[in-house]
Structure 1
């Protein structure tokens, strides 16, 4: 299946339905489909040939949505750029992918001009406005063309976060992306006319709703800047039925005064991913949004949307289920294996490996790394986890983040869950730091709740011992007021925190 088929279908059978909403206005599916086909024609006229890479540097918007589909419509390859990256990081990705054309939104014009000046790209085009040469002007001057891509064609190169070493370009085909979106539609109740608020950045695969929402003929609501208060207002104004985001955004909505006294009755699904949601945060969110079903999933850029913990699982109240990331999605296989590659018994921790139509084609221009991670026909995630007898998978840690203290394995998520119940804790990250006595010491970095004083560390350790084994209890704590550093996907950057903790000890 091709990405562009979703647009063609929506434009044909949902032509009069509302397609997109952002600060520039609203468009219906008939107009949206026509604009995308014309934009694909305009890109082709500018020299785009099948397989050419086109980068996008933009915040969420209708313009980004249109180009998201127009590039693969013309059999081009989209390279979405993380808007938080510094100029040298952007230049590396552009040059690594061999990008010729960069499309940018107004707030990144200075960056785009700088990238052009230093030769990272050969051409830039503005997504915003109607000036000569802008995307709108190109659309107005073009006639629509038919889709030209094939399901096996490369559709996008999505760069990993680069928390260790240089970022790698993950290659995903039309078939990879449509398999992932179709699979999610099989698990999530999303219908024609439903309204999806895009809380995840469109440059990230976390916003796969761009595709599955279109496949179902739903309505997309975009905001360039993500603000919890604005989100709540949009939920009420547009009757938002679905929102998929990260735990920290849900936590901000829960604590916002604008959530008080509102029922948000239209909201049927509130999903989260990209990072675990602590037990305490889950309980608070369910209390604040009682009409919404909650779901979450697990995946990587290389193996996206691989599991799902359904609203029914959340509603069960089963603590074991709620501590998991759910079960394998339809059509995929997941196993837990030991260091030799043998499958682990139920409940035993090992590496998560998987296979399915969502598995990446490979890393761009990195055949050796591709062969290593895809060895034996399975993608090796380098995530540690366990699977129970009913197939529920619990992520225990990144393999590199597992703490070995006095020969005992400590999984940071278990410790973070225990600490999350303390009223003084707003958010927490647990890392291992070198220790002469223990080998590694369990160290907790805690952002304090508003108005909370740093708790007594002995009291906090005792609080943990009531919930987890003694050897897992942190032996040292760091309290702060500022939020913990996170990636664009909402993941806490533990590598940075670990480095800070080690440097502080000299």
Structure 2
């Protein structure tokens, strides 16, 4: 397969009458979905007047219409821009401006949206009216594997989000990697449970469609609702993060359901502890577990650790697995410890670069390799072990938080002299955002938290703030020594990474 339109054709050709997607009370077969996709394509190009390469943003909860946009926008030669629904208004405006979005599909009101030069289509009413008034294309335009399929925004070390440019080939490589671990076929029922604005949220979408499987859509995570769907719809596969694995195990213990259909669960964003995996396996004994290490810049899969449940109690459980098929992983030594260094990635899964950011692109993508910013080592059998993070980034739950973004927000308070933001261990979320702030004047931690909340998304706001009167520790060249600030919190932990 060369493009996402080939994925659609494959699913439709296998069995047009087979169910393709279930979302609440709505269900569409592949034939019905195909009709809606072609109507959407006509609406985009004819009714909205979009041309090849134009950007189309989506800011919405998970729904079948999101899946339709995910499939149709790139298949029509356009570029999808998923927007994190948890972002603050200034962050949303920045992404829409930076990407040059021409049309935004959204299910919510966005303050100040009328000031932007774009067309807004509200989900569901205006979306359905658009499809109802459109003609229907009968074929997909020619698209190349190297054509841009989407711009997926991730946090930036400079304080501004970076748009990761993913091609059709990138996303198809990801589907191939996941298919190497699990069988996808017409009996697959994939639960879209993680937010679809993340590459991890749609990690199984293309593999499911290409093989004629069915999607069941969960609008927002709720452990009880999720398990009810698993039981009612006989869900076979899904993706989660460690925090949701914990919630699901607790919910299943409290109110057991028949979850025997759930046989494949992958998770990522941060490592899951051995006790958590043991707890989850005991409550979902039929589920095979797959740990995925990746990055948005890698579409996202880099390494895979299948059948984790068989490794409980084994030292290899602490690894992130081995490189996915057709993915290269090597270590650029940057530390004194033998074999430890920055993780580098190559392959068809690696992005073209960052939208409108040539300097950041040339820094992160060099000589055919993506420099991940994660620090680790490879054992003799090729298993990757992560030990630290060279990028100034925090992973809290399933979200990446760049310290620079939070520091910039806090620094706008007039009482702040200097600030450093670090990640500290958190039992549920892996890491929590913590700020150390030097101030001149009377200001409380709660006041600084409230101030920060006005500028950045809620998940980026510090969970705790330490106010100091003495200056932050710095190196000889004036750089804040964050490792020194982190050390008291991470003492006793095997690695300085969640």
Q: TM-score range by the shorter chain?
A: 0.7 to 0.9
- Cα 1:397/1:139, change in 2 over 3 Å: farther
TM-superposed deviation, 1:140 = 4.8
Partner residue of 1:179 out of 162, 173, 188: 173
- Measure, in 1, the Cα distance between the counterparts of 2:50 and 2:9: 21
Instruction: Give the alignment partner of residue 82 of structure 2, picking from 74, 80, 83.
Output: 80
Tell me the CA shift for residue 214 of structure 1.
1.0
What's the secondary structure of 1:200's corresponding residue?
Answer: coil
Q: 1:456 corresponds to which residue?
A: none
- Partner residue, 1:169: 163
| One of 300, 303, 307 as aligned partner of 2:303 | 307
* CA–CA separation in structure 2 for the residues paired with 1:70 and 1:448: 37
Partner of 2:467: 503
Q: Pick from 114, 120, 124: which aligns with 1:124?
A: 120
1:150 aligns with 2:144: yes
Query: Counterpart of 2:127?
Result: 134
- Equivalents in 2 of 1:371, 1:384: separation in Å? 20
Q: Do the aligned partners of 2:154 and 2:164 also contact (CA within 8 Å) in 1? A: yes
- Does 1:221 find its partner at 2:223? no
Distance 1:44 1:492, change over 3 A: closer
Map of 1:462 onto structure 2: none
Q: How big is each residue's C-alpha offset from its partner over 1:274-308, in whole Å with a ceiling of 9 and x where there is no partner?
A: 11112221111111111110011111111220110
SS in 1 for 2:56: strand
Ranges in structure 2 where 5+ consecutive residues have no aligned partner = 397-402, 404-419, 430-457, 471-498
> Paired residue for 2:486?
none
| CA spacing shift, 1:504–1:222, aligned 2, 3 Å | farther
Offset, 1:126: 1.9
**Quick one: distance in 2 between partners of 1:225 and 1:71?**
23
| SS state at 1:232 partner | helix
Q: Note the C-alpha offset of 1:136.
A: 4.2
Which residue of the other structure, out of 69, 72, 88, is the alignment partner of 1:70? 72
SS at match of 1:146: coil
Deviation per CA, 1:113-167: give whole Å up to 9, x if none: x343122x421112303xxx53444345312242112211100000003476110
- Structure 1 residue ranges without an equivalent (≥5): 403-411, 417-430, 432-439, 450-490
Task: Kindly indicate whether the alpha-carbon contact (under 8 Å) linking 1:263 and 1:291 is maintained by their aligned counterparts in 2.
Answer: no
| RMSD between superposed Cα atoms in Å | 3.0
Count of aligned pairs: 416
Cα separation, 2, equivalents of 1:364 and 1:381: 17
CA distance in structure 1 between the aligned counterparts of 2:310 and 2:210, rounded to whole angstroms: 27
State the alpha-carbon separation in 2 of the partners of residues 134 and 85 from structure 1.
Answer: 23
Comparing both chains, which one has the higher relative contact order based on Cα–Cα distances under 8 Å and sequence gaps of 6 or more?
Answer: 2
> 1:38 aligns to what?
39
Evaluate the alpha carbon distance shift between residue 444 and residue 275 of structure 1 in structure 2; reply closer, same or farther with a 3 A threshold: closer
Partner of 1:102: 104
1:253–1:259 contact (8 Å) kept in structure 2: no
- Change over 3 Å in CA distance of 1:116–1:192 after alignment to 2: same
Shift of 1:86: 1.2
CA 88–262 in structure 1, closer or farther in 2 if over 3 Å, else same: same
Shift of 1:447: 5.7
Q: Which residue of 2 aligns with 1:17?
A: 18
The equivalent position to 2:333 in structure 1, one of 334, 338, 348, is 338
Contact kept? 1:56, 1:104, Cα under 8 Å: yes
* Contact 1:306–1:329 (8 Å) recurs in 2: yes
TM-score, scaled to structure 1: 0.76
Q: Cα distance 1:285–1:50, how it changes in 2: closer, same or farther (>3 A)?
A: same
Q: Return the TM-score normalized by structure 2.
A: 0.78
